[in-house]
Structure 1
Amino acid sequence: MQFDEETLSRLAAIGWRVDAPLPDGTDPAWRAARVVVQHRNGYVLNDGSDEFPAQPAPRFLRRRAAPEDRPAVGDFVLVDAATPAVIHAVLPRRTTLARAAAGERYARQIIATNIDTAFVLMGLDGDFNPRRIERYLLLLAGSGVRPVIVLTKADFLADAAMHAEIAALRAQIPQEVELHAMNVKRAPMVAPLLRHLQRGDTAVLLGSSGAGKSTLTNTLLGHARQATGAVREHDSRGRHTTTYRALITLPSGGCLIDTPGMRELKLTGEEDLAEASFDDVEALALECRFGDCAHGAEPGCAVRAALESGALDPARWDSYRKLRGELGVANESLAAQLERKAGAKVQTRALGKRLVDKYGRR
Structure 2
Amino acid sequence: MVDPDRLGWNDRRASEMPPGEDLVPARVAVEHRGAYDLLGMGDDLAEGARVSADLRDRASGRLDFPAVGDWVAVRPGAGPRGADLIEAVLPRTSLFVRRAPGRDPRPQVVGTNIDTVFIATSLDGDLNPRRLERYLAVVHGGDAEPVVLVTKTDLVSEGRELDRARALVASVAPGVEVVPTSVTTGEGLDRLVELIPEGRTAALVGSSGVGKSTIVNAMMGREVQQVAPTR
- Smaller-chain TM-score bracket: 0.7 to 0.9
8 Å Cα contact 1:151-1:181 kept in structure 2: yes
Q: State the one-letter code of the partner of 1:16.
A: W
- Measured against aligned partners, the alpha-carbon deviations of 1:94-129 in whole angstroms (never above 9, x if no partner) come to 222223334454322222111111001122223332
- Report the 3-state secondary structure (helix = DSSP H, G, I; strand = E; otherwise coil) of the residue aligned with 1:228: coil
CA drift of 1:189 comes to 2.7
- Matching residue of 1:36: 29
The TM-score, its normalising length taken from structure 1, stands at 0.56
- Matching residue of 1:167: 167
- Measured against aligned partners, the alpha-carbon deviations of 1:171-199 in whole angstroms (never above 9, x if no partner) come to 2322x211122113554531111222111
8 Å Cα contact 1:218-1:226 kept in structure 2: yes
In 1, Cα distance between equivalents of 2:184 and 2:39? 28
The TM-score, its normalising length taken from structure 2, stands at 0.84
Relative to structure 1, the CA distance from residue 13 to residue 48 in structure 2 (aligned partners, 3 Å threshold; closer, same or farther) is: farther
- Using the TM superposition, name which of 145-154 and 218-227 deviates more: 218-227
Query: Given the alignment, which residue of 13, 16, 27 partners 2:6?
Result: 13
In 2, Cα distance between equivalents of 1:19 and 1:105? 33
Q: State the one-letter code of the partner of 1:150.
A: L
In 1, Cα distance between equivalents of 2:157 and 2:108? 39
- Matching residue of 1:147: 146
Relative to structure 1, the CA distance from residue 122 to residue 46 in structure 2 (aligned partners, 3 Å threshold; closer, same or farther) is: same
- Report the 3-state secondary structure (helix = DSSP H, G, I; strand = E; otherwise coil) of the residue aligned with 2:7: coil
Relative to structure 1, the CA distance from residue 127 to residue 194 in structure 2 (aligned partners, 3 Å threshold; closer, same or farther) is: same
- Report the 3-state secondary structure (helix = DSSP H, G, I; strand = E; otherwise coil) of the residue aligned with 1:204: strand
8 Å Cα contact 1:214-1:227 kept in structure 2: yes
Structure in which a larger fraction of residues adopt helix: 1
- Measured against aligned partners, the alpha-carbon deviations of 1:33-55 in whole angstroms (never above 9, x if no partner) come to 11111223522111164211112
CA drift of 1:165 comes to 3.0
Matches within 5 A, 1:129-208: 129-159=128-158, 160-174=160-174, 176-208=175-207
In 1, Cα distance between equivalents of 2:186 and 2:197? 16
Relative to structure 1, the CA distance from residue 75 to residue 42 in structure 2 (aligned partners, 3 Å threshold; closer, same or farther) is: same
CA drift of 1:59 comes to 5.4
Q: Which runs of 5+ in 1 are unaligned?
A: 1-8, 233-362
Relative to structure 1, the CA distance from residue 71 to residue 123 in structure 2 (aligned partners, 3 Å threshold; closer, same or farther) is: same
Root-mean-square deviation (Å): 2.4
In 1, Cα distance between equivalents of 2:120 and 2:24? 35
The number of residues matched between the two structures is 221
In 1, Cα distance between equivalents of 2:169 and 2:16? 44
- Report the 3-state secondary structure (helix = DSSP H, G, I; strand = E; otherwise coil) of the residue aligned with 2:3: helix
Structure in which a larger fraction of residues adopt strand: 2
In 2, Cα distance between equivalents of 1:152 and 1:122? 6
In 2, Cα distance between equivalents of 1:153 and 1:223? 19
Identity, in percent, stands at 35
Relative to structure 1, the CA distance from residue 39 to residue 210 in structure 2 (aligned partners, 3 Å threshold; closer, same or farther) is: farther
Q: Which has the higher contact order (CA 8 A, sep 6+)?
A: 2
The question of 1:80 aligning with 2:75 is answered yes
